[in-house]
Amino acid sequence: MKFLADEFDVAVIGAGHAGIEAGLAAARLGCKTAVFTINLDAVGNCPCNPSIGGTAKGHLVREIDALGGEMGKAADECFLQSRMLNRGKGPAVHSLRAQIDRRKYSDRMKHTLEQQENLQLRQAEITELEKADNGKWLLTTRLEAQYLAKTVILATGTYLGGKIYVGDVSYESGPDGMFPSKYLPESLEKMGMMIRRFKTGTPARVLKSSIHFDGLEEQSGDDPVVPFSYDTETPGKNQVKCYVSWTNENTKKIILDNIHRSPMYSGKIEGIGPRYCPSIEDKIVRFSNKERHQLFIEPCGMNTEEMYLQGMSSSLPEDVQIQFYHSIKGLENCIVMRPAYAIEYFCADPVQMNRTLEFRDFDGLYGAGQFNGSSGYEEAAAQGLVAGINAARKVQNLEPLILDRASSYIGTLIDDLVTKGCNDPYRMMTSRSEYRLILRQDNADTRLTPIGRKIGLISDSRWERFNNKQLLIKKETERVRKTVILPGEELNRILRENNTSEVTTGIRLIDLLKRPELSYSKLKNIDTDRPDIDANILEQVEIEIKYEGYIKRQLSIVEQVRKLEKNILPSDLDYAKIEGLRLEAREKLNKVRPENIGQASRISGVSPADISVLVIYLSTLKNKKSEVQ
């Protein structure tokens, strides 16, 4: 018999990376919040790669932390090995990545939710979602308990109608053998929501003692360790090594000989898979001329012997998997503890949402994470944080948080999803941002911590540390502008050794730092008045100096784009009735319903000519309103 169990301001369905950030944000902003999960043991689970960060993803984690989110802090507490990727490239693409202890991370996140004031963590499968007569959302569990909520966040991950595929075998399941969310998809479709099937996969886990590590390339962590969180004052130490191996022609032959047994190629899997993280059989077919493919052998935790084979996701049968793993150097006798699998699941078309992540046609309903068509823990957490903030602010009748593309990778991620949509699982990459040079991970706090403070997620102590850091950056920038280095043998020796021209007169320190061949570290011996300040501050000052001209140009473009963003489009505008718009533009604009001219200009199929028509139309509307007034 159904019964009303409780009422909440914000209800979050799902306790993965999106659900965690959503629930914590809403509760920390003062809302009575519930987070529902099918299994409490799966809170914060990492069913795929046991790592946080990576190219562009490290930027997202830093931004989550700068706004007051939890992922960076948890990753710092649970990491096994930390590395800064892309150090050989420019600072815009430097990205932090940490191998984590997945069980410790899960336990830490679960305990954080349990201890959070205003938050209740509940094990329950939500089977039905509908609007109650009083305008609130009514959630029904499989055990027939019912909950009322003013706002709801769908963060269902790959559980929503989840189905596992391994060769010819398929069965309903969530990740890691958990129950799927079986009945909720039908309820969402009944509401009129557009949902579709996507697919992702995860590699096998193998027994550490069965791997031959001799002869494999070792990957060690960085020293010193750079933390994700600006709150982490004393980062831990690297505890493990990772290893690199390669597939070969024999691996390729085994896979191609059995490709007909892959559900991806036999037509069993209907869902669309990730373009940028393909299965090993997909790599072999798509890149048929490539002789070998790299894989990384990484630990899953300190208290487990499971090793993760990054780059080797597959849906081939278990017997075929064992064959091709055994063809790889170091894995000749490996014991497969968990075979690889593909998982198919339901997700929403994100063009149904505003940049707040609220559905346009379902008041008070938000989406976050893989439910929105994205892939990755970091992308999920970023959306969860924004959805949680906006759900809370809606309850409190406050203006929503909208991050634009020039403010953050989070803003880019959300704008891409709700404006352009996605035909396959969306993955964040630095190339997706046109403002990479100003959206670096080193300055995430400068960009976003004032926003987090204004919202209410940054504590007094952290705000004080942030302001002190900004003051030190300002003072150091002023110092290098004023400091003059006199000519001398030591200075010219440094210049000769670094293949840059010598000087005969005094030169400002800032002009030396602008030279691409030089850096703070190389000028240490002649920069005798340098204060003893954190290396991260010096890094940020140096980047801003070296790229000053490029940064100014990007900021100028940002201002131009933001002028377009100020041209607000009426939410009820019927684009089919606007003369001069092409048919494709009318259809796309009516589907996405952009909030402003800037967003409209980024919709695929909307041309510059269409934007000109919209600008003229808006101007005409404003003139008519002025005449009436």
Render pLDDT for 357-404 as a digit per residue (tens, 0 to 9). Answer: 999 999 999 999 999 999 999 999 999 999 999 999 999 999 999 999
* Least confident among 24-33, 201-210, 345-354, 549-558: 549-558
Spatial CB neighbours of 241, under 8 Å, sequence gap ≥ 6: 81, 218, 219, 220, 221
The pLDDT of residue 627: 66
Is the pLDDT confidence value at 71 over 70? yes
Q: Residues spanned by CATH 2.40.30.260 within the chain?
A: 205-342
Q: Which CATH class for the 460-549 domain?
A: mainly alpha
Q: Which CATH class for the 566-628 domain?
A: mainly alpha
Q: Residues spanned by CATH 1.10.150.570 within the chain?
A: 566-628
The pLDDT of residue 620: 84
Mean pLDDT of all residues in 580-608 = 90
The pLDDT of residue 565: 87
77 pLDDT tier (thresholds 50, 70, 90): very high
626 pLDDT tier (thresholds 50, 70, 90): low
Q: Are 417 and 386 in contact (CB under 8 A)?
A: no
The pLDDT of residue 535: 86
**pLDDT tens digits, residue range 394-449?**
999 999 999 999 999 999 999 999 999 999 999 999 999 999 999 999 999 999 99
The pLDDT of residue 16: 98
Nearest alpha carbon to residue 274 among 286, 292, 256? 286
The pLDDT of residue 605: 86
Q: Are 379 and 52 in contact (CB under 8 A)?
A: no
Q: Residues spanned by CATH 3.50.50.60 within the chain?
A: 3-199+345-455
The pLDDT of residue 355: 96
Q: Are 369 and 16 in contact (CB under 8 A)?
A: yes
CA-to-CA dists, residue 287 to 110, 279, 291, 292, angstroms:
41, 12, 9, 10
273 pLDDT tier (thresholds 50, 70, 90): confident
CA-to-CA dists, residue 462 to 228, 453, 516, angstroms:
15, 9, 34
Q: What share of the chain is helix, strand, coil (3-state, %, to 5)?
A: 40, 20, 40
Give the residue, 608 or 69, on which the prediction is more confident. 69
**pLDDT tens digits, residue range 554-582?**
999 889 888 888 889 988 899 998 888 99
Considering the domain 3-199+345-455 in this protein, what is its CATH number?
Answer: 3.50.50.60
d(CA 241, CA 99): 10
Beta strands 217-219 and 242-246, pairing class: antiparallel
Q: Residues spanned by CATH 1.10.10.1800 within the chain?
A: 460-549
How many other C-beta atoms are found inside a 10 Å radius of the C-beta of residue 258?
19
The pLDDT of residue 256: 95
Mean pLDDT of all residues in 175-194 = 96
Mean pLDDT of all residues in 541-558 = 92
d(CA 50, CA 303): 14
The pLDDT of residue 534: 87
**pLDDT tens digits, residue range 235-268?**
999 999 999 999 999 999 999 999 999 987 777 8
Q: For 247, phi and psi rounded to 5 degrees?
A: -75, 175
Q: The whole model's pTM is what?
A: 0.94
Give the residue, 323 or 286, on which the prediction is more confident. 323
Is the pLDDT confidence value at 628 over 70? no
Mean pLDDT of all residues in 513-538 = 92
Beta strands 51-53 and 306-310, pairing class: unpaired
Considering the domain 205-342 in this protein, what is its CATH number?
Answer: 2.40.30.260
How many other C-beta atoms are found inside a 10 Å radius of the C-beta of residue 33?
32
> What b/e readout covers 261-297, taking b as 16+ CB neighbours within 10 angstroms?
bbbbbeebbebbbbeebbbbbbbbbeeeeeeebebbb
